[in-house]
Structure 1
Amino acid sequence: MDGANCAIVVAAVFWLVALAGGGRTTRIVLSLLALGAFVVLVTPEPSVIRAAVMAALAMLTILLGRPSAGLAMLSVTVCALLVIDPWLSATPGFALSAAATGALLVLSRPLLRGLSRWMPEPLALALSVPLAAQIVCGPIVALFSDQQSIIGVVANLIAAPAAPIATVIGLLACLAAPIPALADLFAAAAWLPAAWISVTATMSAGLPGATVAVVAGPVAAAVVGVLSTAATVLLVRPRSRWLRAGSALVIIVAVGLTGGRMLLTGPLAAMTTPEDWTIAACDIGQGDAVLIRSAGRTALIDTGPDPEAMQTCLAATATSHIDLLVLTHFDLDHVGGTSAVEGRVGTVLHGPVTSDDERRMLERLVSGGARLVQGEVGVHGELGDAEWRVVWPEPDSAAFPSGNDASVVIDVQGSGVPRTLLLGDLSAVPQRQLLASGRLRGPYTVVKVAHHGSKDQAPALYEAARAQIALIGVGAGNDYGHPRIETLSLLDAVGARTYRTDEDGLILLGRRDDEIVVWLERAPPP
């Protein structure tokens, strides 16, 4: 926003001086002086200085009607700034500022002509500037960001009318600082346009499909660059038919692939997975989220770190309502996706609460219609034809008051549901105490391995559980080295077949003729 604010200041001064009858030289000199004063006022940080230099160049060249000279001036300025501070070459902000200014000089007019064929010229003019910046900056953003905005141009267009108002009124509030009453009046008046910009950004970012996830790096930058070039060719419409046809083909393929993926992960997601599952280990990255279903009732044990990933799993499993939500403990990798189920939960079974953020999360679930139950030994209930019971933690435990070692551990079994033990994030010490308590009803068919397969496990517990299948919720390439080779060897030694979400994706378990059937998203079933 620094560049836009600088441009607004220059344009405002240019217009005021022109209104007062000042000549071109006077307008340019006073505008540049005002820009310098504005930089001093908002503090001359590197990003502000870069934006001021780029804004000054853009405004000067466009207002002087010499964009070709502006490109040469931009090149000289970029070289000069890099000589003064070579480290700027490694900063995304500098690359984006230079690229956006170059786009304004080179692309905005061709895009204006192209858009004018399809819409009224005032609208085309409003769209051409942010569209030019988006096209050129998109590949640079893809180098370091894992998201690409789809509606950024529209959001900028909606927010644009409020930007100059907020900037000018805010500037007046600063200038009126010696008169507190007047400064407060200006500051209060600036709230409305500033709030308009903030609400626009928040709502647009939260819209379904507003962003596309990409793997940041050169490959993503190349793909975005090809798409940006193709879109530019179609809008500018050069004479070469082959160039236009090739660009159209690129856009058609991209739209087809994107639309197909949105359908398969949205409305049609459930059609890509079997229907007769009873246990689903969701692929939600480095975290846990396990669904259990019996006689039309569904339990969700933890929600992973990301609401979007959680929502994707719910769509793939055709899950619309959660009868029992178990929040084993309040680490982000177990509760970060809880907003995806707010308003569609019956009962919440939760671990020890220790912070205001945790209380607010539970309050949001309650406001959505959920009932809260403290998860501790002795609590039990039914899920369709199955029953569940809490086997850990002990009530009011002084040894394990909260966190991983106070994770809610539940035992589930019943008609159609394999006997299952879900260990949360317990470490070896509470695992040994749980085994010594005599509350385990092994052997189990399925065990959800504790703490994403970390090394801190109690071999005796897994030997007593004698599970046929071990499920590990874990993110690909995580920084913890999960699952550890020691744990995988332990599971292999006790005869468990291990499935992990980082390699297998969504994992579904079901019964067929008294046998456990496994369906994997990313690998053929054994």
Structure 2
Amino acid sequence: MAAAAHAGGTRPGGDGRRNGSGSGDETEQRPDFRLIPAAAAGWGSAALGLVLPAAGAVIVAVGAGVAATGCAVLAWRGHRRRVWPTVAAAALLVAAAATAVAALRAAPLRSGPLPELAARSASAEVELVVTGDPQRHEPKVKGMRRSEVLVVVPARAEVVTARGVRLELRVPITVLTSEEAWLPLLPGQRARASGRLATPRPGDAVAATISVHGGPTLLGDPGLLQRVAGVLRAGLRDAADGLAPAERGLLPGLVVGDTSRLPSETEDDFKEAGLTHLTAVSGANVAIVVGAVLFVAVRVGVRGRWLPLLGTLALLGFVVLARPQPSVLRAAAMGLVTLAALATGRRRRGVPALAAAVIVLLLLDPWQARSFGFALSVLATGALLVLAPPLVTALHRRRLPLVVAQALAVPLAASALTAPVIVLLSSSVSLVSVVANLLVAPAVAPATVLGVLAAVVAPVSPAAAAGCAHVAAVPLWWIVQVAAVSAGLPAATVPWPAGWGGAALLAAVLGAGALLGPALWRVRPMRVAALAGLMTLLLQPAVNPRWPPPGWLLVACDVGQGDALVLDGGPGGAVVVDAGPDPEAADRCLTDLGVERVALVVLTHFHADHVEGLPGVLRGRSVAALEVSPLEEPPGEADRVAAWAADAGIVPLPVGTGDQRSAGKLRWQVVAPARTYAGENANDASVVLLFEARGLRMLLTGDVEPAGQAALRDAAPGVVDVLKVPHHGSAHQDFAFLESLHARAALVSAGVDNDYGHPAMTTLAALQRQGVEIGRTDTDGDVAVVTTGEGELALVRRGPGRRER
């Protein structure tokens, strides 16, 4: 594996015998980028093919194929000495293949009988084959019982019976359940289950999800290899049982990427410290494991072609143990290329090997083209191949010992190339990741090797496996401590503009730093100023300056027992939906968000916990318009709203179903109620709004109760990304309505220790079973929906206690 990792470098001590000057050896070692355009074309074409309609995919694939033929003809007739026709022909050929493969793989997931049944939320009985390890997700909300968990099972549906029709097919699905009886299932195992089908989230590589409320009916056993892998993984978990909670969860994560038992606080520390990659199996794991096997083999006398054969067996065994996840497959492909080079004696450069691996993996699994994890894995490997070797040379020339230079170069190179992608995910830049990775590097290899050894010996001797795990606890403890201390620094991460613009800006800054940094570093005043600035940033007081978070789109304000939501409407002003019960709390939230202009205030209904904070919204701000529910109930509160509006020179206007508005790039429509609402229930008269911005759909539901929710379900608002849970998450919900939305995130606005028992455990559990990420103002304080890219989102929690000032 080391051969691949350093193939892009310049071999010291070359004798230059090929041309007498050494230039031939340097040419041999210089990275070969000719296959990069083909990999990039395949990557982009695979991502495009997944979303193009069939006709569009055919046009693109045929067009690229014709262009590839033309370039190949140019290369054959008179342009043999020019590289570009061959490079272009390869890129276009790969683009044609990737587009066609992606479109063919995506077609059954977008149309056909199963997606149609899922769109109708049909009940079905499914015979399936498990395709990956079931994952147990602990609740992310406080107060939920241990039994209220979500189990996610990747599977392939083979027989579906629904509405009296039996379908035989082979399409991927996802099983969602709270039954832990699914957890022992292994990949390759056949089972039967009944539940309700649903449309998956956009971009998911499945045709449907099925919510199951019972355990599986087993129809067969998995294959021998999967049974062996299951025994080894279970043995690893058992061996780690005697460790402290953080180390117990980290050991399986470090070895096979199983983070199901990693405490949430440790997981957060890893994110802040830039160490999350340690729990995602990648090329580093493969290099450590295969390198350890080859080291032992050489020591015991194995030589010649037996070495690559043994390395290949170790590699395949590790892939089975870790499961063929995208990062594992990428690492395995690189490993096989390296082992092939070792077997044949031919020197292959690392960059073409990486490009070839990317092409092969995208053709096998086009959805990797949309995976941030795959992008990070490829970029990190590219950094080690291209950036690390010259960086090692530069640092070594500055009198750093070679070992120290290599230790610094690897995290610096990987961090530099992956930072723009990480910004898309977190809207922040880590200032401690390089140092944290440098500090944990000596502990990763021994912990990984000991973990693999524990898994291997566990079936034979559980006591010996436990002994290996306890020895591994020492380096594991060090990794946990480095993550905790790094994450605890006041400026561990700093905010950065979100989205692709922020990523491009960071890439430009890093590029400029790479070009100008060496020259500036030689100027002593500049060096002193840079070090002083870094120390000032790291030693600043431990306050939270990152509010509002970059890229915020919607904020649920912590205003106590009530609703107050703010949406970013751009320069024209924010949109405020409800004002909560307290003017001071409403004013505080808007002030902290920097809102000075309000394009529109919408009061969903006239209950005090939604309108009494209106004077705080109006205080010192320009408010352009006020819209209200058509039902003026209770009359006293409606009169108070009218009086406050009159003082501000605004006339409240009732809304009606179908009304459409916009503010900047924010668009929305009124989903309910009708302008002439004739009911008497103020909660069901709540104004329900469907917002769209930055590729997200957000449904704000006021306090609608089950009858109003059923009406909304019939009106079919469709799949949404964010749901403001009705009526503060009370127990009175139409759960079929909540399930039909397939929300990725849900906001619950409730007061701490309120007398109503909001939010109800049954409602939280129902959302959790669907895999919804929940933000609660009673436990999380202000909660922001942040966009990390077109259609991507995250919840940022400010923390409780911010309401008091």
Provide TM-score, normalisation by structure 1. 0.50
Q: 1:48 is matched with which residue?
A: 328
The change in CA–CA distance for 1:166 and 1:110 in structure 2 (over 3 A counts) is same
Among residues 407, 422, 428, which one is paired with 1:141 in the alignment?
A: 422
- Cα shift readout 1:289-322 (whole Å, capped 9, x = no counterpart): xxxxxxxxxxxxxxx67xxxxxxxxxxxxxxxxx
Q: Provide the residue aligned with 1:152 in structure 2.
A: 433
CA distance in 2, matches of 1:234, 1:444: 48
Paired position in structure 1 for 2:457: 176
The aligned residue for residue 90 of structure 1 is 370
- When residues 152 and 68 of structure 1 are mapped into structure 2, their CA distance, relative to the original with a 3 A threshold, is farther
- CA shift for structure 1 position 121: 2.1
Q: Displacement of 1:156 after TM fit? A: 0.7
Question: Is 2:580–2:612's contact at 8 Å kept on the other side of the alignment?
Answer: no
Residues 53, 407 of structure 1: CA spacing in aligned structure 2 closer, same or farther, 3 A cutoff? farther
Aligned to 2:350: 70
Question: 2:403 is paired with a residue of what secondary structure?
Answer: helix
Counterpart residue number, 1:166:
447
Distance in 2 of aligned mates of 1:211 and 1:156: 15
Counterpart of 1:515?
Answer: none
Aligned match of 1:394? none
Shift of 1:27: 2.5
Contact 2:581–2:608 (CA under 8 A) maintained in structure 1? no
Cα 1:266/1:59, change in 2 over 3 Å: farther
| 1:71-470 → structure 2 map (5 Å cutoff) | 71-118=351-398, 119-178=400-459, 179-233=461-515, 286-287=554-555, 328-329=560-561, 428-430=606-608, 446=619, 458-465=637-644
Whole-angstrom CA distance in 2 between matches of 1:163 and 1:54: 20
Structure 1 residues 445 and 231: alpha-carbon distance in aligned structure 2, compared to 1, 3 A threshold = closer
Q: In the TM superposition, what whole-angstrom CA distance separates every residue of 1:317-360 from its partner, at most 9, and x where no partner exists?
A: xxxxxxxxxx72499989xxxxxxxxxxxxxxxxxxxxxxxxxx
Distance across 2 between alignment mates of 1:40 and 1:115: 39
In 2, are the aligned partners of 1:432 and 1:461 still within 8 Å (CA)?
no
**By how many angstroms is 1:18 displaced?**
1.7
Which residue identity is paired with 2:356?
Answer: V
Q: Distance in 2 between matches of 1:131 and 1:168?
A: 25
- Residues 440-461 of structure 1 deviation map (CA, whole Å, 9 limit, x = unaligned): 9x99994999xxx995695422
Q: What's the TM-score, normalizing by structure 2? A: 0.34
Distance 1:227 1:39 in 2: 38
Q: CA deviation at 1:84?
A: 2.2
Match of 1:342 in 2: none
Asked if 2 retains the 8 angstrom alpha-carbon contact of 1:58 and 1:105, the reply is no
- Contact map agreement 1:139 1:221 (CA 8 A) in 2: yes
In 2, the alpha carbon distance for the partners of 1:12 and 1:443 equals 65
Aligned counterparts of 1:143 and 1:283: Cα–Cα separation in 2: 17
**Amino acid of the structure 1 residue aligned with 2:488:** G
Question: Aligned with 1:75: secondary structure?
Answer: helix
Quick check: 2:579–2:611 contact (8 Å CA) kept in 1? no
User: What SS class does the counterpart of residue 379 from structure 2 fall into?
Assistant: helix
| Secondary structure at 2:607 match in 1 | helix
The amino acid across from 2:468 in the alignment is F
Aligned partners of 2:362 and 2:368 also within 8 Å:
yes
The Cα RMSD (Å) is 5.1
Query: In the aligned structure 2, how far is the partner of 1:448 from the partner of 1:27?
Result: 74
Separation (CA, whole Å) in 2 of partners of 1:96 and 1:159: 19
Q: 1:460–1:65: structure 2 CA closer, same or farther, 3 Å change rule?
A: farther
Q: Give the equivalent residue in structure 1 for 2:206.
A: none
Of the two structures, which has the highest relative contact order with CA contacts closer than 8 Å and spacing of 6 or more? Answer: 2
SS at match of 1:107: helix
Deviation of 1:174 (Å): 0.8
Query: Structure 2 vs 1, CA of residues 224 and 54 (structure 1 numbering), >3 Å: closer, same or farther?
Result: farther
Q: Give the 3-state SS of the residue equivalent to 1:212 in structure 2.
A: strand
1:7–1:56 contact (8 Å) kept in structure 2: no
**Which amino acid counterpart does residue 318 of structure 2 have in structure 1?**
F
Query: How many Å apart are 1:464 and its aligned residue?
Result: 4.4
Structure 1 counterpart SS, 2:324: coil
What is the number of equivalent residue pairs in this alignment?
A: 330
Report if the CA contact (8 A) 1:14-1:30 is conserved: yes
